[in-house]
Amino acid sequence: MDNPLSGVQWLLTRKGRDGSPGDLLRRLGRGEIELTHEAFHDLQHWQSAAYLRELLMACGVLPAIDKQVWLFERWLRGHLAGIADDGHAQVIRRFATWGVLPRLRTRADRKPLTTGGRRYAGEQVKAATDFLQWLSERNLELPSCRQAGIDAWHAESREHARMAVRAFLQWCMASKLTCGLRLPLP
């Protein structure tokens, strides 16, 4: 690391507490935490875990991935857990997995993602979730949603939400999850 003293200070912070840097390292050493990016998503003390993950990537112990991508993946787990309707959660998981994450990873392969890029990806997922909730409140379902439904949602929504949900609607049309839709002009 560039400044070893900061690493020593980090190890000594919150000494002995669950989730402390030393605790995370001990748990890794005992095999209680798997040495994978996925395992780091689930750790409660995510700031200590994030710092340790960055160190492990810098040392080549974990494969390097863009920080904004793994922050999005961590956020996504929590977002999906908060969706009450299992069908909606499944659609949102598929959209994020096959629509949003590939775009983020492709962009990250070219150059590091910005915080704003990660946030907008999250806004797209939230807008898709809100749209599905809006449909449910009107006793509509995604497969039977028609142009009139899209137009009504579009008329009721703010411009930012309309722009953020575009990627979801395009993904739905490409995935054949909706019938007879065309996107309104922005």
Amino acid at 150: I
How far apart CA 25 and CA 61 sit, in angstroms, is 13
Task: Specify the pTM.
Answer: 0.77
- Average pLDDT in the 1-25 region? 71
- Label residue 108 by pLDDT band (50, 70, 90): very high
Amino acid at 42: D
Residue 121 scores a pLDDT above 90: yes
- Average pLDDT in the 88-92 region? 95
- Label residue 154 by pLDDT band (50, 70, 90): confident
Higher-scoring residue by pLDDT: 73, 4: 73
Phi, psi of 29 (to 5 degrees): -60, -35
